[in-house]
Amino acid sequence: MIARLLAMAAMVLACLTATARADDLLIRNVRLIDLTAETPRWSAPQSVLVTSDRIAAIGPDITAPDDTKVIDGKGGYLLPGLTDMHVHVWDRAALGAYLAHGVTTVRNASGMPFHLDLAAKIDAGTLAGPRLLTTGPILNSHGANEQLNHQFVATEEEARAAVRWQHAAGFRHIKVYSNLTREAWAGIRAEAATLGMTVMGHTPEGVRASGVPVDHPFDMGFDQFLDADFVTIEHVESIVWHGLRNRHDSAAARALAQRIAASGTPVDPTLVAFRNLLHVAETKGAYLRRPGSEWMNPMLVATEQPVYDRWTNEAVEPNRAAFEFYKQMTKMMADAGVLMVAGSDAGIFTNIPGGSLIDELELLAEAGLSPAEALRMATLNPAQVLGEEDARGTVAQGMAADLVLTGADPLQGFATLRRPALVVAAGRLYDRAALDALLTEAAQQDLSRTQANVVAGLKAQGNDVSALTGG
């Protein structure tokens, strides 16, 4: 009797999980690549069996159970799903634009409570989107780089309290920013260590005195952050600003790249963010209205208007020269052996969700990295940086079923990633028609839903929202 009850309970459980589970998939006739190899090569066509959210088997000739959905990959190229290590999601509408470009994991770099809710819905399979990792709200002190959505702290005690609030709200990763005071940084670092939270972001400068960085050094120098356990340091232009005191000096840059490499601190250069602003200047603003801009969040676009106006009128030549230096610095970091990841800063400035990561891969190649190096930065390296290399970042048996299939070889040109043949995210299949439907939905913006979520987040983190709500 007890055995029968247990068997019935097991059947009920099996039914419950089956409803939440994706169909099993057999993707036949696809080429695979081992990106861990120094010179990666594509395999002869193989079959890949996906069961639930894992890769169950890979081989030339796999037979699958009868109810498995079989897909002909037509000799295409199957890659691990891409990870964008630096995005800003303002509303669920943008999520489909990531998936449609093969991005199956994003790391949101300015979190609010609604991101935790979105992440849970994506995990449960009730909302289509990439796996959503998020930091808490950006921790900053008032100063030159402050923004409306930052959570402001100045003293050590304020910083500790903010970190405790973030932890209690459900966040496990912290984003720090450039203006943090010495005292606030000390409080964040200590409290994060106590609570087991990780830290990423901009290296804090301390209070910025006049004449910094050319006539006087920063209050806190860049190098002290190389043993501060950052998961990643973000933005090559911020590294040049803080680490080189904004001097475009190749010898100093090479030495800095070597110190970063020696420290083992990973870097996310986000070349595309500055390049896009440069394009705004070069086109006198026309670039803001390029195809794909319909996937930008309307609240964010309104907020960025002063930035757009400034860059529309910026001088082109000095910024073009600066961008060349940022590419050189990125190549120097790669050559020095810095562990680097690909991030796009999608969702802010004019960085379009999804496509900006493909732009970033192209820019990394333009900077002189090999296509395989660039592709590792969106697959293997994020898994390593996030401590997930046993579960993600490669197409192999037992790994997460996060996959992207392209019709052409992406190592011969990343453009093929702009229109993948299909994407599998957590074992769920999105064929080309489904990806196109996601893009249509991504353009259906909801300003009031965005404002409601963001205002609730700002209130929860203790900001004054009267400027936003008109009160």
The residues that touch Zn ion, with contacts defined as CB under 5 A, are 109, 345
CB of 345 to Zn ion, least distance (A): 4
> What length is written for the chain?
471
Residue linked to tokens 């950006």 = 138
CB 75 within 8 A of CB 45: yes
| Enclosing H/E stretch for 51 | strand 46-51
Q: For residues 191 and 345, which CB has a smaller minimum distance to Zn ion in the complex?
A: 345
Nearest to 358 by CA among 347, 344, 348: 344
CB of 202 to Zn ion, least distance (A): 9
CA–CA distance from 328 to each of 251, 269, 365, 411 (Å)?
A: 11, 11, 12, 21
Q: Dihedrals φ, ψ of 79, to 5°?
A: -120, 160
CB of 14 to Zn ion, least distance (A): 43
Q: For residues 110 and 394, which CB has a smaller minimum distance to Zn ion in the complex?
A: 110
* Rounded Cα–Cα distance for residues 292 and 271 (Å): 19
CB of 112 to Zn ion, least distance (A): 14
Q: For residues 109 and 340, which CB has a smaller minimum distance to Zn ion in the complex?
A: 109
CB of 238 to Zn ion, least distance (A): 10
Residue 109: how many other CB atoms lie within 10 Å: 27
The amino acid that residue 102 corresponds to is G
DSSP 356-388: HHHHHHHHHHHTT--HHHHHHTTTHHHHHHTT-
Q: For residues 319 and 344, which CB has a smaller minimum distance to Zn ion in the complex?
A: 344
Q: For residues 146 and 249, which CB has a smaller minimum distance to Zn ion in the complex?
A: 146
Residue 136: how many other CB atoms lie within 10 Å: 26
Alpha helices in 244-315 (DSSP H): 250-263, 271-282, 298-303, 305-312
* Rounded Cα–Cα distance for residues 6 and 89 (Å): 44
Q: For residues 377 and 438, which CB has a smaller minimum distance to Zn ion in the complex?
A: 377
Radius of gyration of the CA atoms of the chain, in A: 23
Residue 105, phi-psi category: left (phi > 0), alpha (psi -120 to 50), beta (remainder): beta
CB of 36 to Zn ion, least distance (A): 29
Q: For residues 109 and 361, which CB has a smaller minimum distance to Zn ion in the complex?
A: 109
Nearest to 293 by CA among 308, 311, 306, 278: 308
Tell me the three state secondary structure of residue 329: helix
Q: How would you classify the pairing of strands 46-51 and 54-59?
A: antiparallel
CB of 296 to Zn ion, least distance (A): 14
Q: For residues 138 and 421, which CB has a smaller minimum distance to Zn ion in the complex?
A: 138
Q: For residues 109 and 372, which CB has a smaller minimum distance to Zn ion in the complex?
A: 109
* Rounded Cα–Cα distance for residues 63 and 44 (Å): 18
CB of 428 to Zn ion, least distance (A): 28
Q: Which two tokens stand for residue 394?
A: 């490669």
CB of 109 to Zn ion, least distance (A): 5
Q: For residues 109 and 233, which CB has a smaller minimum distance to Zn ion in the complex?
A: 109
Q: For residues 109 and 132, which CB has a smaller minimum distance to Zn ion in the complex?
A: 109
Q: For residues 85 and 372, which CB has a smaller minimum distance to Zn ion in the complex?
A: 85
CB of 107 to Zn ion, least distance (A): 10
CB of 276 to Zn ion, least distance (A): 13
CB of 201 to Zn ion, least distance (A): 9
Tell me the three state secondary structure of residue 107: strand
Residue 445, phi-psi category: left (phi > 0), alpha (psi -120 to 50), beta (remainder): beta
Q: How would you classify the pairing of strands 25-32 and 173-176?
A: unpaired
Residue linked to tokens 């990780």 = 198
Residue 75, phi-psi category: left (phi > 0), alpha (psi -120 to 50), beta (remainder): left
